[in-house]
Each structure stands twice: as C-alpha cells, then as structure tokens.
C-alpha cells in the first residue's frame, strides 16, 4: 500500500505547491487523482516517484510510505527498484531508438534476461500494434502509439505501482477507451496498482475504484469512483454538466463559487 501522510512540497525552498495532502492507494487498486491544470497532481506523482529531487523540489512536511517503509527521502532509482514506476505526461520517448529498444530501456534495472524476453512478449500481447512497429523509429510513431510505447516501457520494469500522468492527453476518444481498457486489464491480470492522474474525469472514474479531487495543492473531496461520478459538484466542475444536464464550458465553470463543503 502507498500512503501519503499530510505532505507539503516546496520547490527551491520558496514555492509551496502541495499543502497537507493525504491519500492512499491500496494493493491491486486503481485510484484516480482529478483536478485542473496547476492543481498539484503531477507534483504529487513526482513526490512519490522521487523525481522531485531532480527539479529541486522536496517533501518538507509529512511522509510518504510504501508497504510501511518511508520513501520520501529516497532517490528515484531506489524507488524504481522498489516497484514504483512513473509514466510521465507528454509521452517522453527516446525518439532516435526503435520501439523495441525503447521497451528494453524500461528493463535496464533488471538482470534476468529470460524474464525480460518473456515480459517483452507480454507487452506485445497487450499492445499488438507495437509488435508490428517494433523496428520503427519511435519518433515517427503517432501520439497514440507513443502512449502505448511509454506504458509498455513502464511494464517492462515489472511495476507493483504504476503512476500514470495524463495518459489520455491529446488522444482521440477511441484511443482513450483503448488505453482505459488496457489499464483495467493490467490491473486485473497483473495485479498492478494504478494511480491515475487525469483531467478527463469521465474516463478516469469509469475505471477507478476510488478517487480524489485536488484543487490548489489540497485534496478537497474523496470517495469511491461511483460516488464521485454521481456527485453534483464533480458533475458540474469536472464533467461539465449542470444539475439539469446541460453542458457548461470550463471557462464558465471555473468562475463559479465553490460550495462551502469544498472548502
């Protein structure tokens, strides 16, 4: 289990980004973290994976625990060895390498060559398109294919917990559904816990077990995914639906005054 205990995150010892964030990701569960741009979602993932240190960020208050062990003072390589793998926003691939070389890069911390080969076949089973593109230069792949590639690369590390940052960003609806189906399958078949950061609340809540809503570096609401999907505030502020079922633009919604229970 992953547990964040009232953490605060500061960059350059000046900029306070997270303000008392507490959340949990249970064994073999899918947890969604929802919120608008700038809410602190990506910073939360980087605090977990240790990547904060690369950007001169630090957990200054609270603690992060993985299976009872404190990890907020550990580096990203050590955290990755423990089975926590982050898939960064923006499909960060090695553009000059082939698709298969990118996948094998995900296993660079492993020493079991037979297991790596088996897991490569497993990734191709999850993403058949990558098999056909295995020798294609990755920089020429489409956005959807690159998203499959970075997820497959993370799977090559045999994660116990996968941190997915905006996997649906910039993808067509049909590809979003495909990515969601693969996340569900990975969770069910491989028992991999998933922490899913998304602005696409509808897609995230459709596959999550539990969800948290973040605003301005704080968790303002949390519940089961179904209860969040049915919550009137979530419908209005994150699904773009009013009480009478009329769509509202996010430009209009963001100016609405939050109800007292959100504060």
Residue 140 covered by a domain:
yes
pLDDT tens across 40-59, in order? 999 999 999 999 989 999 99
Total domain count, the chain: 1
User: DSSP per residue over the chain, as a string?
Assistant: -EEEEEEEEEETTTEEEEEEEEEEE-TT-EEEEE--TTSSHHHHHHHHHTGGGGGTEEEEEEEEEETTEE-TTS-HHHHHHTTEEEE-TT----TTSBHHHHHHHTTTT---HHHHHHHHHHHHHH-HHHHHTTTSBGGGS-HHHHHHHHHHHHHTT--SEEEEE-TTTT--HHHHHHHHHHHHHHHHHH--EEEEEES-HHHHHHH-SEEEEEETTEEEEEEEHHHHHH-HHHHHHTS-B-TTS-B--HHHHTTSPPPGGG-
pLDDT tens across 132-142, in order? 999 999 999 99
Q: What is the pTM of this model?
A: 0.89
Residue 24 covered by a domain:
yes
Q: Domain span at residue 96?
A: 2-230
Residue 200 covered by a domain:
yes
Q: What is the pLDDT of residue 46?
A: 97
**How high is the mean pLDDT of the chain?**
90
Q: What is the pLDDT of residue 199?
A: 82
Residue 239 covered by a domain:
no
Residue 89 covered by a domain:
yes
Q: What is the pLDDT of residue 262?
A: 54
Provide mean pLDDT across the span 222-227. 96
CATH number where 103 lies? 3.40.50.300
Residue 224 has pLDDT above 90, yes or no: yes
Residue 259 covered by a domain:
no
Residue 98 covered by a domain:
yes
Residue 172 covered by a domain:
yes
């Amino acid at each position: 289990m992953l547990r964040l205990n009232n953490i605060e995150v500061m960059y350059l010892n000046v900029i306070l980004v997270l303000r008392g964030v507490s959340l949990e990701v249970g064994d073999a569960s899918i947890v969604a973290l929802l919120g608008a741009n700038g809410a602190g979602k990506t910073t939360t993932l980087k605090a977990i994976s240790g990547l904060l240190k690369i950007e001169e960020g630090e957990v200054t208050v609270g603690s992060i625990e993985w299976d009872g062990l404190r990890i907020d003072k550990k580096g990203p390589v050590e955290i990755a060895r423990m089975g926590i793998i982050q898939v960064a926003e923006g499909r960060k691939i090695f553009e000059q390498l082939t698709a298969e070389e990118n996948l094998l890069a995900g296993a660079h911390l492993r020493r079991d060559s037979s297991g790596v080969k088996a897991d490569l076949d497993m990734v191709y089973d999850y993403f058949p398109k990558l098999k056909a593109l295995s020798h294609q230069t990755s920089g020429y792949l489409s956005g959807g294919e690159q998203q499959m590639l970075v997820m497959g690369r993370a799977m090559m590390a045999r994660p116990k917990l996968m941190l997915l940052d905006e996997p649906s960003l910039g993808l067509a609806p049909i590809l979003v559904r495909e990515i969601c189906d693969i996340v569900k399958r990975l969770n069910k078949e491989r028992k991999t816990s998933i922490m899913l950061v998304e602005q696409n609340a509808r897609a995230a809540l459709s596959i999550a077990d539990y969800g948290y809503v973040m605003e301005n570096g704080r968790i303002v609401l949390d519940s089961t995914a179904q209860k969040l999907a049915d919550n009137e505030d979530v419908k209005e502020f994150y699904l773009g639906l009013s009480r009478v079922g009329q769509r509202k633009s996010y430009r209009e919604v963001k100016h609405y005054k939050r109800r007292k229970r959100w504060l």
